Amino acid sequence: MEMLEEKLKIDKISKGTVIDHIDAGYALTILSLTGIDESKNLMTIGVNVSSKKYQTKDIIKIENVFLNETQMQQISILSPNATISLIENYKVIEKKKVELPKIIKKLILCVNETCISNSNEPIDTEFLVLDEKPLKIQCVYCERIYNLEAIVFTSKEKKEKKIIQRIQL
Ligand SMILES: [Zn+2]
């Protein structure tokens, strides 16, 4: 009975990516911050799915999409327990657990305007991970501390700049 229930809730995909063991309630944040939500492919999102390991979890299945390295690193920041499975012909061909690094380079923007990472100097942002859960990171240059809600990914900012440029044209 339990097996059947599990099957009904989480449909198998023939090819693509399954992001599993996402902290409950974070699936939508992951989709928007990584830009996965811009994909036109079929996505199945389970929020507050019951889990043996973590009581409840979120799960995302995306057909015909494989994540890039940046997206996987972003997921490690947003949900450090997540696992990422690559699917081909309905089978898992590779399964990885994301890993939150001790120092996060380039991925996150420091929004402090006076921070040296925002000057004209060619300096990449760098954050020290103070706490994993709940996430607390600190800019190594200006020492400003950020929690999960305050994080801005650099890739998102680049995209927004492009959109602004397009509007101005
Ligand atoms: Zn800073």
- Centre of ligand 1 from the C-alpha of residue 61, in Å: 35
- Centre of ligand 1 from the C-alpha of residue 77, in Å: 18
- Centre of ligand 1 from the C-alpha of residue 107, in Å: 13
Report field, pTM of the whole predicted structure over 0.85: no
- Centre of ligand 1 from the C-alpha of residue 109, in Å: 8
What CA–CA distances, in Å, run from 60 to 9, 43, 115, 142?
Answer: 12, 7, 36, 36
Q: What is the pLDDT of residues 102-159, one digit of tens each?
A: 999 999 999 999 999 999 888 999 999 999 888 999 999 999 999 988 998 987 666 6
Q: What is the pLDDT of residues 79-91, one digit of tens each?
A: 999 999 999 999 9
Q: What are 37's strand-pairing partners? A: none
Ion ligand 1 neighbours (CB, 5 A) are 110, 112, 115, 139, 141-142
Tell me which residue of 71, 61, 69 sits closest to 32, measured CA to CA. 71
Collapse the DSSP code of 139 into the 3-class scheme (helix H, G, I; strand E, B; otherwise coil) and give the result. strand
**CA–CA gap between residue 120 and residue 71 (Å, rounded):** 26
